[in-house]
């Protein structure tokens, strides 16, 4: 019963992430409680072995919390929201990494339906809003930039899942997955957000690595370049997307001499302020992400790093996840977030190698897309602005680690010797 409830909550998590402000957090904690209950029921059998096996991954996810805790102690004020987010990464990953192998692999794989449904629903919502609203649409739960980027990620995962069958109706399943991916990608394209375009090349590269069996490096690189060129041509044929891409360059050039109120220039000013904050406090940062606004007003503006209108807008963050952690918690904070991206990406990249089974490689591709997608999306947007995305990220990194683990392929996790 616990296994089915965990699967159901996993399916609901990405759907609610893109439709609700409050439900994702409740689902994250409920799923974590049920995962702990499952571990207690199984007497934590295999937990020590799994922890030892993945200790580099688990330890790397604890670095950010250690950075937040150290900074809080030095500044004498606990960074509440930041510490909760860091714990979602650390404890969330650890709990799910131990609990999910106790679920039958044939059942666990159906969590992927949540990704497919989230892509469909978010794609339809963006298309509907774009059709009915003239101005830039106000998407539910998340701002449009983050919303459309996660929609793109869902589209990519739906395509990768063509190599990960969930039913015995192969033809029908392929049709459904491709159709859902097309709807999600159409929603992303219509949204015309430039943040998602940062992650698109790596998603294409992962697709080539998964679907094209080329062992010669030159042919592989050539294929990747051709596919990327085709995608770039298709996207840039859209006048709206092309004009927005060109605008980035123009605005960045203008911002070198004048702090103007444009999307790109505001980001550059926020990045300058974040870099300055981190450089002035390299080991402990400002002590709390909520102090960034005050730093912009009281330090960055007087220094000429940002214009006064940036303060009036009240962004509260620098539109870059790593710079946010750098400003708030110094080098340890930035390092902690980079490890959250890169360490699981290393596991997934290895499992994407040709010698692994198709299902292992497909699950690894989805995991790699999640990690690197969030890393690239986070270059121009604070994707982890809300803790909902942190919980989602930790849950699904753990899921893809387990699904791509060849030692956990057999039914009922025999590798963990879990009692019935």
Distance between CA atoms of 113 and 11, rounded to whole angstroms? 6
**What integer pLDDT is reported at residue 224 of this predicted model?**
79
Distance between CA atoms of 90 and 344, rounded to whole angstroms? 13
* Separation in Å, CA 170 to CA 120, 162, 164, 362: 20, 9, 10, 16
Closest by Cα among 109, 167, 115 to 402: 109
Q: How many helices (H) and strands (E) does the chain have?
A: 19, 0
Lowest mean per-residue pLDDT among 137-151, 153-167, 364-378: 137-151
Q: Mean pLDDT throughout 30-52? A: 96
Report residue 12's pLDDT band, with 50, 70 and 90 as the boundaries: very high
Closest by Cα among 53, 7, 9, 35 to 99: 35
- pTM for this one? 0.94
CB 408 within 8 A of CB 402: yes
Element (H, E) at 324: helix 321-351
**What integer pLDDT is reported at residue 407 of this predicted model?**
76
**What integer pLDDT is reported at residue 408 of this predicted model?**
61
Positive or negative, the CA dihedral 386, 338, 325, 31 is positive
Cα dihedral 275/279/281/282 (nearest 10): 110
- Mean pLDDT over each residue of the chain, to the nearest integer: 92
Q: Is the pLDDT of residue 419 over 60?
A: no
- Extents of the domains making up the chain: 2-241+322-416, 242-321
* DSSP string for residues in 70-133: HHHHHHTS--HHHHHHHHHHHHHHHHHHHHGGGS-HHHHGGGHHHHHHHHHHHHHHHHHHHHH-
Write out the two tokens for 71: 């900074």
Distance between CA atoms of 306 and 314, rounded to whole angstroms? 13
Alpha-helical (H) ranges within 215-320 are 217-236, 239-255, 263-280, 292-295, 301-303, 308-313
**What integer pLDDT is reported at residue 226 of this predicted model?**
84
Report residue 243's pLDDT band, with 50, 70 and 90 as the boundaries: confident
Q: Is the pLDDT of residue 208 over 50?
A: yes
User: Between the ranges 178-182, 195-199, 254-258, where is the mean pLDDT highest?
Assistant: 178-182
Length of the chain, in residues: 420
* Separation in Å, CA 374 to CA 31, 229, 383, 391: 22, 22, 7, 13
Place of tokens 């981190």: 278
Closest by Cα among 327, 419, 385, 418 to 46: 418
* Separation in Å, CA 256 to CA 228, 235, 264, 271: 30, 28, 11, 13
Q: Is the pLDDT of residue 178 over 90?
A: yes
* DSSP string for residues in 143-167: -HHHHHHHHHHHHHHHHHGGGS--S
* Angle 344-350-352 from CA coordinates, rounded to 5°: 105
Q: Is the pLDDT of residue 410 over 60?
A: no
Instruction: Give the pLDDT confidence of 98-129 residue by residue, as tens digits.
Output: 999 999 999 999 999 999 999 999 999 999 99
Alpha-helical (H) ranges within 18-79 are 23-41, 47-53, 55-75
The number of beta carbons lying within 10 Å of the beta carbon of residue 180 is: 24
Q: Mean pLDDT throughout 301-317? A: 91
């Amino acid at each position: 019963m616990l296994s089915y409830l965990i699967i159901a909550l996993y399916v609901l998590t990405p759907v609610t992430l893109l439709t609700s402000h409050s439900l994702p957090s409740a689902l994250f904690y409920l799923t974590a409680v049920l995962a702990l209950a499952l571990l207690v029921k199984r007497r934590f059998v295999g937990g020590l072995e799994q922890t030892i096996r993945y200790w580099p991954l688990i330890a790397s996810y604890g670095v950010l919390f250690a950075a937040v805790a150290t900074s809080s102690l030095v500044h004498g004020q606990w960074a509440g929201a930041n510490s909760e987010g860091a714990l979602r990464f650390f404890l969330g990953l650890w709990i799910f990494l131990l609990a999910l192998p106790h679920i039958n692999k044939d059942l666990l794989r159906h969590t992927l339906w949540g990704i497919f449904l989230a892509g469909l629903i978010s794609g339809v919502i963006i298309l509907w809003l774009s059709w009915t609203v003239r101005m830039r649409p106000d998407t539910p739960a998340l701002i449009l930039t983050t919303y459309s980027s996660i929609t793109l990620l869902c589209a990519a995962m739906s395509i990768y899942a063509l190599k990960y069958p969930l039913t015995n109706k192969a033809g029908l399943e392929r049709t459904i997955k491709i159709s859902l991916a097309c709807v999600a990608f159409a929603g992303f394209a219509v949204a015309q957000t430039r943040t998602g375009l940062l992650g698109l090349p790596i998603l294409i590269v992962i697709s080539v690595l998964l679907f094209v069996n080329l062992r010669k490096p030159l042919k592989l690189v050539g294929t990747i370049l051709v596919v990327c060129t085709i995608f770039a041509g298709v996207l840039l044929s859209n006048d709206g997307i092309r004009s927005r891409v060109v605008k980035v360059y123009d605005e960045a050039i203008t911002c070198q001499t004048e702090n103007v109120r444009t999307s790109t220039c505001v980001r550059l000013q926020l990045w300058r302020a974040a870099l300055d904050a981190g450089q002035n406090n390299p080991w402990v940062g400002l002590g709390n992400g909520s102090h960034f606004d005050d730093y912009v007003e009281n330090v960055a503006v007087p220094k000429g790093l940002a214009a006064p209108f940036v303060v009036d807008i009240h962004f509260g963050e620098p539109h870059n996840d790593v710079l946010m952690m750098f400003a708030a918690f110094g080098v340890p904070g930035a390092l902690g977030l980079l490890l959250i991206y890169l360490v699981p990406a290393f596991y997934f990249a290895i499992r994407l190698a040709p010698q692994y089974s198709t299902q292992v490689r497909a699950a690894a591709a989805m995991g790699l897309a999640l990690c690197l997608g969030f890393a690239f999306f986070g270059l121009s947007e604070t994707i982890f602005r809300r803790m909902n995305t942190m919980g989602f990220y930790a849950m699904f990194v753990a899921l893809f680690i387990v699904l791509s683990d060849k030692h956990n392929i057999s039914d009922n996790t025999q590798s963990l010797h879990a009692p019935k």
